[in-house]
Amino acid sequence: MTVPVPGHADARYGPSERSPIMSLDYCCPHCHAVLNPNVRVILAAVFEGQRGLVLMSSKLGDYQLICDKGFCSRVEAGDIVEFHCPVCSESLTSKQMDHFSELEMADNEKPDQHPAKVLFSRVCDERATFVYDGDSIREYGEAAQRLRDRMSIEGDWGW
């Protein structure tokens, strides 16, 4: 797992100021709780019975994360991690594509817009994220092109 360099460029924003990244809210698709109260998305993770908290970057395509050493040291490249909402404890594994976890992404500068679906790979070090806004799919990460065929717009997104 990639560990970030301490300090984040967006850490300078206080609660009343939001960076461009922070205009996006990542939410649980079950309870709709906002999972990024700051510049990190907070998720509960499970691997081989071990539980831990994982803080992921809220910037699409940035795969740096923070987690406790006890949890991170057990997970190696290629391992599949289960992610859960830290608020309601529901699994975030996509029902349509179980290789991925799913979140909702809302742009709070566009409150009338339907939330987009964000799918990210559950496989450690497989950098692939897909965002579907109802019309198109955007992809991020080195593995996205290889996994693109799994992401058909018709039927797979559960709209």
| Domain range summary for the chain, segments of one domain joined by + | 15-150
| Least-confidence region, from 12-26, 52-66, 127-141 | 12-26
Name residue 19's amino acid.
Answer: S
What is the CB-side half-sphere exposure of residue 8 using CA atoms within 13 A?
Answer: 20
Residues 105-151: tens digit of each pLDDT: 998 888 788 899 999 999 999 999 999 988 888 999 999 988 877 66
Give the residue-averaged pLDDT of 3-25.
Answer: 47
